[in-house]
Amino acid sequence: MIFRGLCRKYFMIILGGMIQGFAMGVFLFPNSVPSGGAGGLTVLFNYWFHIPMGIALWLVNSSMLVIAVQNLGGASAIGTLAGITVTSLAVNFFEVNVYMPHSFVWLELLLGSVTLGVGVALLLRQGVSHGGIGIIALIISKSRRINPGKPLFWINGSIFVVTAYVIDWQIVIQALCCQWISTRIVDWLYNIRIPRKTPSLALDWRKK
């Protein structure tokens, strides 16, 4: 049972990382829209130093693992490392192999925000962070027993202002819209409770 639970946990982590990477690599990063605080720093590093998005994202996220180990425990840190590694690989893969015409930025922003929220929620439900500022948000969420979406929104907002100042002020509007939509999705999915059938119920049904 423990092995099965562990396999399920890491399957969900990998799935969440892939969905998050898809949202970033296909919809958000091509339009220079930061997906969060770590995404904002990733866009800046790419803008300043021309570092590939996937590599820059991994560098930013992995630097936060020390905080994860100290505050969330080793198991959560390992899960976070797995999540950010899958996300970074997915970003590189989708940027190279999936082409979008980018004809309507706001539609892509909506699709990317919803998809991002689904990926982040899957990771947070496994007790791991989606990386970067999400680690801090998860720590605040656990210590104050609140939904992680709210601290995630306000912390990332300050980083968006810097990103917009350097690149384009329109980015801050798009980034805040992305955060508002994605964090609403995160809060909604994070609070969903899926009922599970117990073996005793199954046996009772068979007896009937």
pLDDT at 13: 92
Q: Does any domain span residue 131?
A: yes
* Total domains, the chain: 1
* 173 inside domain: yes
What is the extent of the structural domain holding 137? Answer: 7-207
> Is residue 1 situated within a structural domain?
no
pTM of the complete model: 0.73
Q: With a cut of 50, which residues of the chain have pLDDT below it?
A: 198-208
Query: 2 lies in a domain?
Result: no
Answer whether residue 87 is part of any domain: yes
Query: What pLDDT shows up at residue 197?
Result: 54
Q: Which long-range contacts (CB under 8 A, 24 or more apart) does 54-61 make?
A: 54/25, 54/88, 54/89, 54/91, 54/92, 54/95, 55/88, 55/92, 57/24, 57/84, 57/87, 57/88, 57/91, 57/131, 58/84, 58/85, 58/88, 60/131, 60/132, 61/87, 61/88, 61/131, 61/132
Residue 13 lies in a domain: yes
